Structure 1
Amino acid sequence: MSEMGKLWLVGAGPGDSDLLTLKAARLIADADVLVHDGLIGPGVLEMARAGAETISVAKRRDRHSLPQPEINALLVRKVLAGLKVVRLKGGDPFVFGRGGEELEAARAAGIPCEVVPGVSAALGCAAEAGLPLTHRALSSAVSFVAGTCQGLKEQDWRGLAGPGRTLVVYMGVTTAGLIADKLMADGVSPDMPVAVLERGTLPGARAIRTLLAELGEVVAREGVRSPAVLVVGRVAGLANAEDVIARATMRQLEGLGAW
Structure 2
Amino acid sequence: MTDPLLVELLELARTAAARAGALLRDGRPADLGVAATKSSPIDVVTEMDIAAEKLITGYLSEHRPQDGFLGEEGASREGTSGVRWVIDPLDGTVNYLYSLPTWAVSIAAELDGERVVGVVEAPMRGETFHAVRGGGAYVNGTALRVRPAPPLDQALVSTGFNYVATVRTHQADVAQQLIPRLRDIRRGGSAAIDLCDVAAGRLDGYYERGLHPWDLAAGDLIAREAGALTGGRPGLPADGDLTVAASPGVFEPLQAILEQLGAWHD
Q: Which has the bigger relative contact order, CA under 8 A and spacing at least 6?
A: 1
Structure with greater Cα Rg: 1
Does the TM-score normalized on the shorter chain lie above 0.5?
A: no
TM-score normalised to the size of structure 2? 0.30
